[in-house]
Amino acid sequence: MISKKMESMLNEQMKNEFFSAYFYLAMAAWFSSKNLNGFANWYRIQAQEERDHATMIMDYTLRVGANAEFLTIEAPDANFASPMDIFEKTLEHEQKVTAMINDLMGAAIDERDFKTQQFLQWYVSEQVEEEENATGLIEKLRIAGNSEAGILYMDAEAATRVYTPAVQATT
Ligand code: FEO
């Protein structure tokens, strides 16, 4: 079992991960509408990964005998100005998610809930990668002088991203 507080925090995070999927899908749609199909692919895969992050939380709550709740997912702000705007919003969003994961881990530590700490460790590591990826996009486009040629080069590179299901050691 886990505490009611931890159950509620995990359910909130499951919703937040689904929101991330929704947000990144909106970005994928924006890139598709601009014929930047490589970035559309990259963000579509990003959304798939976020759904994995959400369902892994659902699976964990069920395994420890807690309830999985399906909370309302708010609509993302889908007004994007440019690829750089999207990359900056991605980094900003991931920094918020990192803070949420840190809050969850902090609560698990306070409660001496060791199994949830172990479960959350995967998310702590994942957030390092998420922020690194978003920072990489921003820096690369800055190096390219935020130019159209740079965007097209990066779009071609983003087209090569393939989906790999998130895997977590669960025992
Ligand atoms: Fe689920 Fe982008 O972190």
User: What are 129-169's pLDDT values in tens digits?
Assistant: 999 999 999 999 999 999 999 999 999 999 999 999 987 65
Q: What separation in Å is there between the alpha carbon of 58 and the centre of ligand 1?
A: 15
Burial level of 102, CB count in 10 A (0-12/13-18/19+)?
middle
pLDDT band, very low/low/confident/very high, at 11 (cuts 50, 70, 90): very high
Whether the predicted pLDDT of 171 surpasses 50? no
- Contact present, 39 and 154 (Cβ < 8 Å): yes
Q: Closest ligand 1 atom to the C-alpha of 16? A: 1
Query: From CA 139, how far away is CA 149, in angstroms rounded?
Result: 15
**pTM of the entire predicted model:** 0.95
pLDDT for the residue numbered 168: 66
Alpha carbon distances (Å) from 3 to 17, 55, 135: 21, 20, 36
Which CATH fold would you assign to the domain 4-70+80-158?
Answer: Ferritin (1.20.1260)
Residue 127 CA, closest ligand 1 atom number: 3
Per residue in 26-84, pLDDT (tens digit) is 999 999 999 999 999 999 999 999 999 999 999 999 999 999 999 999 999 999 999 99
Per-residue exposure over 108-146, b if at least 16 CB sit within 10 Å of its own CB, e if not = beeeebeebbebbebbeebbeebbebbeebbeebeeeee
DSSP designation for 147: -
Strands (E), the chain: none
Show the ligand 1 pocket: residues with CB < 6 angstroms.
Answer: 17, 20, 50, 53, 94, 97, 130
The domains of the chain are located at 4-70+80-158
